[in-house]
Structure 1
Amino acid sequence: MIEKHDYLLPAGRIGVLLIHGLTGTPVEMRGVAREFHRAGYTVYALQLAGHCGSVEDLIATRWQDWYQSVIDSADMLRKQVDTLFVCGLSMGAVLALKYTASHPNEVAGVLAYSVTFRYDGWSIPPLSRFAAPWLLPLAGMLNVGRHKMFNEEPPYGIQNEVLRKKIADKMQGGNSAEAGLPGNPWPSLNEFLLLSRNVRRKLRHIHTPCLLLHASNDDISHRRNAELVRDTVSGPVEMVLLPNSYHMITIDNDRQELFQRSIAFIRRYSVNTPLTLSEAL
């Protein structure tokens, strides 16, 4: 049984649901959670189904299971708050957009960090970038390659070299709950592609305010992923490119700007804004 690593930080009646990425962990949202909590918001960092365990645990789940984790977590958090924001990193941002499209009257705003519909950043080998969209569905249909993985390579989505080494050591040390898995299993990547296709079709139905934060030099997900959201959603949207980070913008060099812009966005679209530290931002 997978150990639980989700966490709830109770505070005011404005809530923020945090969604980590594929093969990731709630730990990658810890800094954001801490800043939101300091600003007076109730924060819940969920753990997606199949994550924080073994590769077998992950490939036993489908994208619908990951999305159900979001639904269940949002239902829980909404019982404790009056206003709900959803916030996700990478694939977590895709799940946040899907939940927003399906629950338009329940979400005050969506914060999409490094939103990823395709792994098309500069560190992704060209062969993997172009072959994956047809290779992975074929492998799924033929039920082959179940235990194959696309292993992560430096820089692991992190420009900060000191932090990169710490994360790499934890990842290679097998601590999936702290640093995620060291690669992406083929079956899980195929599920990710199915999820991405599903959400792209729903983007134009999103009228909820969106904040898009993306590294200008993202090594995993090219900024065209964020531009797709910016150019397709129907509601108010703000897109900011961060110059000194790679994919993991919640922990990389631009994290302070991410915190400030995120809290400012939540304040702008909150019904009841707490008078807290965020006033100074």
Structure 2
Amino acid sequence: MPVLPGAEPYHHQAGDTGVLFCHGFTGSPQSLRPWAERLAAHGLTVSLPLLPGHGTRWEDLAVTGWQDWYAEVDRELLALRRQCREVFVAGLSMGGTLALRLAARHGEGVAGVMVVNPANRVHSPLAPVLPVVKHLVRAVPGIADDIAKPGRRELGYARMPLTAVDSLRRFFRLVDSELPMVTQPLLLMTSRQDHTVPTADSARVLSRVSSTDVTRRVLEQSYHVATLDFDADLIVDESLAFVGRSAPAVGKEGTGTGG
């Protein structure tokens, strides 16, 4: 199945500091591409893969699960580690959850974690009965496009297959149990208003990780897809400052420039 225009993966080879970006559930690299491109413009090596089952049609997502999505970013991380001196991981929503698991599983192989509105559970009345309902109902309406900025759109599916949602539910439970293994520096950015992932999920992440170097920023003007919203510049600036603590030239270039 051809990839939708705009949903293509993005890779940029540059310096010896790398960043792996993980997009969200039913979304695509399009939602993170401006963030990734602006970090690449500051001399960072960047990888933004397309997760299996995404970026084509929602029916393709129905035959994948969390093991497929995680395996993709795990492969990308190992590839970046062969190219770079240090690698950071970053993600939006479920992508933030993927990034946190990479940190938990790879330890010193991940230099730091940057997440925007990370998800920690499926917030739906259907969640407890998904193991049964997924056999009766094929799909439900999607969650894309929670953006405050007029004229901005997220390239995501209009429907969510319940088989994949149930796999996501199980993935969230697994990662929640692994969060104490996250010890790396953490930059967590949370929208004040989010109609997809409640701010309670960010609070849960903070309460569970073992990181002692934690920076939290509240995104006052954006909804869930903050990377395409009013606070996109702030996300870039905060990321450059965060990475720049390990790669000073990057931090100096990025601070206050807006990319």
Q: TM-score, normalised by structure 1?
A: 0.85
Partners of 1:276 and 1:37 in 2: how far apart?
15
The aligned amino acid for 1:53 is T
1:92 maps to 2:86: no
Where 1:161 maps in the other structure, the secondary structure is: coil
Give the ranges of 4+ consecutive aligned residues of structure 1 lying more than 3 Å apart after TM superposition: 1-4, 271-276
Conservation of the 8 A alpha-carbon contact between 1:15 and 1:84: yes
Structure 1 residue 183: Cα displacement:
2.4
Q: Which residue pairs with 1:161 in the alignment?
A: 150
Match of 1:45 among 45, 48, 63: 48
Number of aligned residue pairs:
253
Identity %: 31
Match of 2:136 among 117, 121, 144: 144
Return closer, same or farther for 1:231/1:275 CA change in 2, 3 Å cut-off. closer
Q: 1:100-133: CA deviations, max 9, x gaps?
A: 100001000011111012354xxxxxxxx3x222
**CA RMSD, Structure 1 to Structure 2 (Å):** 1.8
Partners of 2:255 and 2:116 in 1: how far apart?
23
Structure 1 residue 272: Cα displacement:
6.2
1:152-191 aligned within 5 A: 152=143, 156-163=145-152, 167=153, 179-191=155-167
Task: Name structure 2 gaps, 5 residues minimum.
Answer: none
Q: Which residue pairs with 1:35 in the alignment?
A: 38
Q: 1:78-116: CA deviations, max 9, x gaps?
A: 221111000011000001001110000100001111101
Where 1:103 maps in the other structure, the secondary structure is: helix
Match of 1:228 among 198, 204, 208: 204
Partners of 2:214 and 2:201 in 1: how far apart?
14
Match of 2:73 among 61, 70, 73: 70
The aligned amino acid for 2:224 is H
Task: Name structure 1 gaps, 5 residues minimum.
Answer: 121-128, 169-178
1:113-124 aligned within 5 A: 113-120=116-123
Return closer, same or farther for 1:91/1:199 CA change in 2, 3 Å cut-off. same
Q: Which residue pairs with 1:106 in the alignment?
A: 109
